């Protein structure tokens, strides 16, 4: 089985990346694991033209970049999205990716489709102590999974994490979560 772990942050070396590293390390003992960072891809914002509602594909020039990421989703059995809070929601880069995935969403016919039977997990982190903000991020990720027909199989909210050094005391909690995947 294959697992895909996504760093939904534009920061490749921060706390989110540290959590991605921990999760991928844990999962790699049981799954063929691949990590990607959303900031490694360059794509434009969705223009809202809705052409994809009729054709199940995007008409924008950079649509192949989104297809490349969706091919990673298609190849994986397990998908774990790890997102920090940017003003109480997922980072704009990941939101832009989600917007560009409209051709794959089950909100219209025809739509492109990834293989069925996938399980999705969401991990949210924030600097403050308030868990409802993490729940909002988890909700955004799980909403996206739902439209891709990925089963939402679990989530983890982590508060009071600003720097990667803040991840170390939470390692046992993250490891325990990984055992549920």
pLDDT tens digit sequence for 25-67:
999 999 999 999 999 999 999 999 999 999 999 999 999 999 9
**Model-level pTM greater than 0.75?**
yes
Question: In which order are the strands placed within the sheet that holds 119-125?
Answer: 32-37, 2-7, 78-84, 119-125, 151-158
Backbone angles phi, psi at 151, to 5 degrees: -70, 125
What domains, with CATH codes, occur in the chain? 2-178 (3.40.50.360)
Instruction: Kindly provide the residue ranges of all beta strands, DSSP E only, lying in 105-180, ordered along the sequence.
Output: 119-125, 151-158
71, with CB counted inside 10 A (0-12, 13-18, 19+), is exposed
**Alpha helix segments (H runs only) across 39-160:** 52-55, 63-75, 92-100, 131-147
């Amino acid at each position: 089985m294959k697992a895909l772990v996504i760093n939904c942050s534009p920061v490749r070396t921060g706390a989110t990346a540290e959590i991605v590293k921990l999760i991928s390390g844990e999962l790699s003992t049981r799954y063929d694991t691949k990590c990607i960072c959303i900031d490694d891809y360059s794509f434009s914002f969705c223009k809202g033209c809705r052409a994809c509602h009729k054709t199940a594909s995007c008409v924008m020039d950079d649509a192949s970049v989104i297809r490349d990421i969706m091919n990673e989703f298609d190849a994986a059995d397990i998908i774990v999205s790890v997102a920090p809070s940017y003003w109480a929601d997922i980072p704009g880069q990941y939101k832009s990716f989600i917007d560009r995935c409209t051709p794959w969403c089950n909100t219209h016919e025809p739509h492109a489709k990834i293989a069925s039977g996938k399980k999705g997990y969401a991990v949210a982190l924030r600097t403050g102590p308030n868990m409802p903000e993490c729940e909002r991020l988890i909700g955004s990720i799980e909403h996206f999974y739902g439209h891709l027909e990925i089963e939402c199989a679990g989530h983890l909210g982590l508060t009071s994490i600003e720097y990667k050094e803040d991840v170390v005391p939470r390692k046992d909690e993250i490891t325990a979560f990984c055992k549920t995947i």
